[in-house]
Structure 1
Amino acid sequence: MKNIILFIGILLLMGSCSKDNEQETNDLTEEGVKTQYSHSVIKEKIDNVDNPEYKVIILADLDSKEKKGNVKSQVLCFKDIYFKISKYSHTSRYYRKPLKGVYNDPEWNDLNSGAGGKYIYFYYDLTTDYVRGIKGFSLTKGVNTVSEFTCKDADTGENADLNAGAGGAWIWAHANKDVFFPAMSGFGVIMSNTVYVGDKIPFGWNLVSCFSFTNPPNPNCCEDANEGAGGKYIYFITKYY
């Protein structure tokens, strides 16, 4: 009897190990997982000034007729902005809906486009309370440049690293709610293969500023949210009421 019980126990243990190994293999070989890099890896980009390509993507426009509908008495504001940082593409069976952020970019644009690392998707919450609305958005570069206004990872609630797993600079996004400024009504991105995008910014929109707090400060700090990570040049744009 003891031998039978021991034999059954061994079978159960083997089955458990087999499942664990299978799960680990799936995680490592799942199609769509990108190569990961540490921040110490700096990847060069080619500024293709001779054959520029641009893609202007409006991720959310609260001031549009489609978003406001017939409601004239209430003004929609961004309450919070999150970035879903995921090992897997949104098309993968392993992709999980984030814990925070009700709305998302319907086109699922990867904000780490072409740079390897994690997939980064845009999510946000809305409010009609103007005081609680976001009234400013900016970027900082440097490992310790986070603040109380730093945008969070939609899953972990930790500060969202916009170059997660892609190498290059530590990049953080910040959304403040200073009541003395107009509320933000739109958020978008310009993806390009060249540095200059000034004439591609839509009318009424603004290029998001970046500040370098590295030691020593980086004199070449630019607004590229993929700095040092290869891939596309990615510039955030915003609009205000």
Structure 2
Amino acid sequence: MSTKKGSILVVEDEEKIARVLELELEYEGYKVTKVIDGLEALEAYRTGSWDLILLDVMLPGLSGIELLRRIRKNDLHTPVILLTAKSSVEDKVSGLDLGANDYITKPFQIEELLARIRAALRIKRTEEEHPQNENDDLLRFADLSINQKSREVIRGDGESIDLTPREYDLLVYLMVNKRQVLSRDQILEAVWGYDFFGDTNVVDVYIRYVRKKIDLPHLPSLIHTVRGVGYVMKDSK
């Protein structure tokens, strides 16, 4: 019998999708409970213990967004990944503003969803093992540090790295979400704003700018491309 990787609450009212998710996640070694409406999900959340929640936005009884709002009132730590329709920009915005860790649009590839689940669970484990002081304004990853009060960026023992405001915001977003694969759309919405009307190619351009400044020739790369998905900040090991 395989060791369970963690418990996942699947909240999805489309029976076929819910069943596929249940089978795939159980095959991967997760313990899965699936529910089909928001009120049932709220009860399951309150009475169970969950390592991660997969939450459809459009639900009968209680919407996914309202359910997320209630979860985040007292629980800031359980990862929540939203399942959204492709056109539901407002739901994505509301969900991220309310504290969703990630979202994936339907229809999605199961491999991508599994990767996002693994990333969210890794971040949760890291935070549990190395809790941060909420009042600490210093972001650190590998040999890169950012002082959010002074906006000073330093790599290794070197001098301060000069970044434009947009480059700085992009780097902070990557740092805050380190080891999490971020899509171009997520980066665009977080750094440029939800009302930005432009191509996601702008993300690639600014990633290149930031890489040129922080990934110095004699140092390992910290910003990595995930082909077909987006970018992730991680060490090169």
TM-score by length of 1: 0.25
Higher strand fraction (1 or 2): 1
Higher helix share: 2
Relative contact order, CA 8 A, sep 6+: which one is greater? Answer: 1
The higher radius of gyration belongs to 1
